[in-house]
Structure 1
């Protein structure tokens, strides 16, 4: 990559990387571990597996709706399983969503250092 620093202290990189902040780039070269981005891909794969399993979250949310509808609106219960209470199911769903949220936040934290590359041309 051809790079030069202009008089404003900004690095000009050849496309497709575009211009980046020279100071931010220098800091990242000494502190950023690019394998963090591969870990972000692994985290995303885990999230996709959790969401893509049709027998998990979607089904649980539909069961929770059926239970809540019966309990709160007096509707007919649509599930036949009595293995789990509405509260237990809500706790399980919340825990799964917490796991996914934690993975999304981890991905966000892994890419956040790259924001140091944003040029401030203004």
Structure 2
């Protein structure tokens, strides 16, 4: 199958026709919004990073007998771990969705490229 030259390089002509009829480029913008949400949740104060540091302090005290570095308040060690695991699993689902949405663009690989 022939290739079509675009401003961003050659693409497979048949895949281009198919995606022009079926791919909603707004999905990429939705992924940008998701990434912004993920970045905020991961990095901002009281984000997952801080939650993990708190969990480390709790686990280090309980498992390694280290001095108490955090106040012994809610959440418990187990609750903190469960919350973080759930959040990470949600992030994985979001990222898997993003991969699923973007995967069809790989079909544009020009014929003859491997």
Give the TM-score taking structure 1 as reference length: 0.84
- How far apart are residue 92 of structure 1 and its match? 0.6
Higher relative contact order (CA 8 A, sep 6+): 2
The number of aligned residues is 113
Structure 2 residue runs of 5 or longer lacking an equivalent are none
| Partner-residue secondary structure (3-state), 2:78 | helix
Shift of 1:81: 3.8
Of 59, 67, 70, 2:58 maps to 67
Deviation at 1:119, TM superposition (A): 1.5
| Off by >6 Å, runs of 4+ in structure 1 | none
Cα deviation 1:9-45 (Å, max 9, x = unaligned): 2223143x21101111111112111111111111111
Q: Which residue of 2 aligns with 1:13?
A: 5
More helix by share: 2
Which residue does the alignment assign to 1:4?
Answer: none
Report the RMSD for the aligned CA atoms in angstroms: 1.4
Change beyond 3 A, Cα 1:63–1:14: closer
Q: Would you say the 8 A contact 1:20–1:118 is kept in 2?
A: yes
For 1:84, the equivalent position in structure 2 comes to: 75
